C-alpha cells in the first residue's frame, strides 16, 4: 500500500475534503487532527473521472475559465470607453448602479456565501454574466436604454456573489507548494480575457475612424463567451467548512480603516478616464486601446511584483518601496492627464483617431493610467495579505476590499454620469490620492517583517516535530541525554 499523503495547510478547503486533499503533497492539518489519507484507498474507491474533476488543478482551471468569461470580459467592455456606446452617460449610470449593488452584496458577502455555499454562489454569478453583454447589445442595436439600466442590479448581485466566492475558493484550493503557479494561472486568465475582448473589439471596429458607438455585432461574441462560464461553475466542488465569521471585526480593524481611502482611490480612476476615452477618441482608437492596455498592465503588475519580492530587504522595506513607486508614477500620469483635459475643455478636439498627429499626446495619459492604476489594486492585495494570520484572514480581507472597491467605482461612475466633463472626476481622483497617503503610509510602516501566517505555521510544524520526537522512545532518550549534558555544562 502507498504511503499516506499528508493534509494540506490549515484553513484550506482541501483540509476538510479528503478527495481534494489527494492533490496535496505536504502540509499540516488543523490542531491535532490527523488529516492524512490513504491515496491507494482513494484511487480504488473513486472513479478516474471524479478524481480528475476533484483535483485541485482541475478546480483552479474551472475557476480561471469563469474569471476569463466574467470579470475579464466585463473589464474589456468597460475598456471601450463608455461601454462602447455613442455617449458615455448611460453607461456611467449603469456602472454606478451595478457597482452600488455589488458593494452591498460584498459587504455581507462572506455571510451570504457561507449560507448558500461557494459553488452555488459561483453558479449565481456565472448565470448573470451574459446579461452584461446582452444589455449593451440591446442598447446599441435597438436603443433600448431601459434594459441596460434594469439589468444593473442583477449583474451587480451576481458579480458580488461570484467575486466573494472566487476569493475564498482561490485562496483555499491552491496547494501551498504550488500556490504561486496556481495564482499566476488565475491572474493570467483575467488578463487574457481582456486581451481577447480587445482583439474582438479591434477586429470589428478597425475601419470605423469616427466617433459614435461601436458596431453592435461586437457584443455578440462577448455574450457567447460570458455564457460559457455557467457549465464550469457547476463543475466546482463545494467548500463545506470555509469559516467566514468576524466580518464586522474585519471591517472595523485598523488595517481596513487606515487603507479605506487608498482602496477607494485605487479604483476611482475607472470612471473619469473611461469617460475621457469615450468623449475624445474614435471607435477604432478605443478598440485599439482595449487590446493593448491589458498587455502592458500585465507587464506593470509583474514589475511591481519584482519590487515587492526583492531579496535582501525585509517585507516592511519592500512595502515602502512599492508604495512610493505607485504614488510617484500616478502623480506623473495625473499631471499629464489634467493638462490634456484642461486643453480639451477649452477646445473640444472631437473624435481623435489613431491616424491623427495629436493621438499619441492625447492617448498616452489614458494608456499610462491603465498601467499604473492597477498597480495600486495589486499592491492592496499584497499589503493586506502581509498581515494575515491565516487563510481565513485573507478571505475576510478580500471581501472587505471588494466591497470598498465597488463603493469607489459607484462614486466614480456616478460623478461621471452627473458631469459630462472628466475634469471633475480627475480632480477628485487627485484629492483622494493625497488623502490616502497618511493612512496607507502608517500601514506600510506597521507591515510585519514576515507574514504572521508563515511564522505561525513554522511554529506549529516545530511543535509537531518535537511531539513526534518525544513519542519515539529512542529519540526521547537521545533528547534527555542531550539535555543532561547541557545542564552539566552549565553547572
Q: How large is the average pLDDT for residues 340-361? A: 89
- pLDDT reported for residue 255: 85
Digit-coded pLDDT (tens) for 299-348: 787 788 778 777 788 888 888 999 999 999 999 999 999 999 999 989 88
What are residue 37's DSSP bridge partners?
A: 5
373 in Cβ contact with 330 (< 8 Å): yes
Q: Would you state the torsion angle of the CA atoms of residues 372, 267, 113, 117, taken in this order, to the nearest 10 degrees?
A: -40
| Residue 488 pLDDT > 60 | no
Percent of the chain with pLDDT strictly greater than 90:
20
Secondary structure letter of residue 252 according to DSSP: T
Instruction: Evaluate if residue 93 carries a pLDDT over 50.
Output: yes
The top-scoring range by mean pLDDT among 37-46, 90-99, 416-425 is 90-99
Instruction: Inform me whether the pLDDT recorded for 30 exceeds 50.
Output: no
pTM above 0.75, yes or no: no
Q: In the prediction, which pLDDT does 406 show?
A: 83
Of the candidates 369, 405, 370, the residue with the CA atom closest to the CA atom of residue 384: 405
Could you tell me the domains of the chain? 52-450 (1.20.1250.20)
Determine the Cα angle at 422 with ends 416 and 428, to 5°. Answer: 80
Res. 97: pLDDT tops 60: yes
Cβ–Cβ contacts within 10 Å for residue 372, how many? 23
Q: Measured between alpha carbons, how far is 327 from 423 in angstroms, rounded to an integer?
A: 20
Exposure string for 267-290, b = 16+ CB within 10 A, e = fewer: bbbbbbbbbbbbbbbbbbbbbbbb
**pLDDT number for residue 473:** 57
For residue 36, the model assigns a pLDDT of 44
Please give the angle made by the CA atoms of 304, 200 and 157, to the nearest 5 degrees: 70
Residue 161 has pLDDT above 70, yes or no: yes
DSSP state of 215: P
Say if CB 151 and CB 135 are below 8 A apart. yes
Task: Give the pLDDT confidence score for residue 304 in this predicted structure.
Answer: 81
pLDDT category at 12 given cuts 50, 70, 90 is very low
Confidence grade of residue 29 (pLDDT, cut at 50, 70, 90): very low
- Of 171-180, 236-245, 346-355, which one has max mean pLDDT? 346-355
Q: Express each pLDDT in 233-292 by its tens digit.
A: 999 887 654 454 455 667 667 888 888 999 999 888 888 888 898 888 888 888 888 788
Amino acid at each position: 500500500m502507498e504511503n499516506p499523503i499528508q493534509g494540506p495547510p490549515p484553513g484550506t478547503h482541501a483540509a476538510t475534503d479528503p478527495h481534494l486533499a489527494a492533490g496535496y503533497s505536504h502540509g499540516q492539518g488543523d490542531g491535532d487532527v490527523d488529516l492524512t489519507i490513504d491515496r491507494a484507498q482513494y484511487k480504488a474507491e473513486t472513479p478516474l473521472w471524479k478524481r480528475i474533476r476533484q483535483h485541485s488543478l482541475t478546480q483552479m482551471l474551472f475557476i480561471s475559465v469563469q474569471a476569463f468569461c466574467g470579470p475579464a470580459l466585463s473589464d474589456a467592455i468597460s475598456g471601450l470607453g463608455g461601454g462602447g456606446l455613442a455617449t458615455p452617460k448611460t453607461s456611467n449610470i449603469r456602472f454606478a448602479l451595478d457597482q452600488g449593488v455589488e458593494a452591498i452584496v460584498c459587504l455581507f458577502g462572506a455571510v451570504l456565501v457561507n449560507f448558500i455555499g461557494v459553488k452555488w454562489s459561483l453558479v449565481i454569478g456565472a448565470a448573470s454574466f451574459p446579461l452584461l453583454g446582452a444589455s449593451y447589445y440591446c442598447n446599441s442595436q435597438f436603443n433600448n436604454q431601459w434594459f441596460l439600466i434594469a439589468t444593473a442590479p442583477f449583474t451587480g448581485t451576481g458579480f458580488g456573489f461570484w467575486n466573494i466566492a472566487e476569493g475564498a475558493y482561490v485562496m483555499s484550493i491552491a496547494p501551498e507548494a504550488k500556490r504561486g503557479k496556481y495564482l499566476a494561472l488565475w491572474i493570467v486568465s483575467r488578463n487574457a480575457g481582456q486581451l481577447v475582448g480587445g482583439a474582438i473589439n479591434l477586429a470589428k471596429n478597425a475601419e470605423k475612424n469616427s466617433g459614435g458607438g461601436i458596431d453592435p455585432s461586437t457584443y455578440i461574441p462577448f455574450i457567447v463567451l460570458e455564457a460559457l462560464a455557467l457549465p464550469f461553475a457547476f463543475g466546482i466542488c463545494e467548500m463545506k467548512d470555509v469559516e467566514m465569521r468576524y466580518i464586522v471585526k474585519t471591517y472595523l480593524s485598523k488595517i481596513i480603516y487606515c487603507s479605506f481611502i487608498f482602496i477607494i482611490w485605487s479604483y476611482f480612476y475607472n470612471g473619469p478616464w473611461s469617460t475621457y476615452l469615450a468623449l475624445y477618441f474614435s471607435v477604432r482608437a478605443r478598440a485599439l486601446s482595449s487590446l493593448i492596455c491589458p498587455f502592458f498592465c500585465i507587464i506593470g503588475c509583474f514589475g511591481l511584483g519584482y519590487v515587492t519580492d526583492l531579496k535582501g530587504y525585509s517585507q516592511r522595506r519592500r512595502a515602502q518601496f512599492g508604495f512610493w513607486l505607485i504614488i510617484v508614477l500616478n502623480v506623473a500620469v495625473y499631471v499629464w492627464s489634467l493638462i490634456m483635459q484642461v486643453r480639451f475643455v477649452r477646445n473640444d478636439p472631437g473624435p481623435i483617431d489613431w491616424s491623427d498627429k495629436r493621438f499619441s499626446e492625447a492617448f498616452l495619459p489614458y494608456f499610462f493610467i491603465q498601467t499604473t492604476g492597477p498597480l495600486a489594486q495589486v499592491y492592496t492585495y499584497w499589503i493586506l495579505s502581509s498581515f494575515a494570520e491565516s487563510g481565513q484572514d485573507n478571505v475576510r480581507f478580500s471581501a472587505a476590499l471588494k466591497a470598498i472597491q465597488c463603493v469607489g467605482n459607484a462614486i466614480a461612475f456616478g460623478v461621471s454620469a452627473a458631469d459630462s466633463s472628466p475634469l471633475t472626476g480627475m480632480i477628485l481622483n487627485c484629492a483622494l490620492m493625497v488623502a490616502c497617503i497618511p493612512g496607507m503610509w502608517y500601514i506600510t510602516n506597521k507591515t510585519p517583517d514576515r507574514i504572521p501566517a508563515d511564522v505561525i505555521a513554522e511554529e506549529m510544524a516545530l511543535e509537531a516535530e518535537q511531539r513526534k520526537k518525544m513519542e519515539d522512545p529512542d529519540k526521547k532518550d537521545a533528547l534527555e541525554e542531550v539535555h543532561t549534558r547541557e545542564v552539566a555544562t552549565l553547572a
